[in-house]
Amino acid sequence: MKIAIGADHAGFSLKEKLKKYLQEQGHEVKDFGPSSEQSVDYPDYAHPVANAVEKKEVDLGLLMCGSGNGINMTANKHQGIRSALCWTAEIAKLARQHNDANILTLPARFIEEAEAKKCVDVFLSTPFEGGRHEGRVNKISC
């Protein structure tokens, strides 16, 4: 898979760990930054990741900031994006199965690396169920 990844300064360390993890699994990772823990504004990284997902330049996206909230809210401003803030693998699985989420957002300051990896694994491997969920998902965009 081709995955877009981005963060802010609070998510930088986790981003780097997950990028390496994904690459070791054979995924192609397009890193939209940042390149250090220097303070940055999360919208500057959320928008490019969301654009790449929206334009289908990548299969899915992965974002992280301290709480996950700001970067998630920013990504969800894009019409074709369904970004899900997840902190357990079960939530990540349901985001894919029921909501056809195309960006996984993680709260870097509130999730352990092992759980973040589980979230990523299940997010990438879980298909959208469609069926009764499809009509609901189609009502999300304004």
Q: What residues does 106 pair with on adjacent strands?
A: 64
Token couple for 3: 């995955």
Taking residue 78's Cβ as centre, other Cβ atoms within 10 Å add up to: 19
d(CA 95, CA 78): 17
- By the 8 A CB rule, do 27 and 18 touch? no
Cα distance between the two ends of the chain: 29
- Closest listed residue to residue 89, CA positions, set 116, 66, 56: 116
Q: Which residues are catalytic?
A: 65, 98
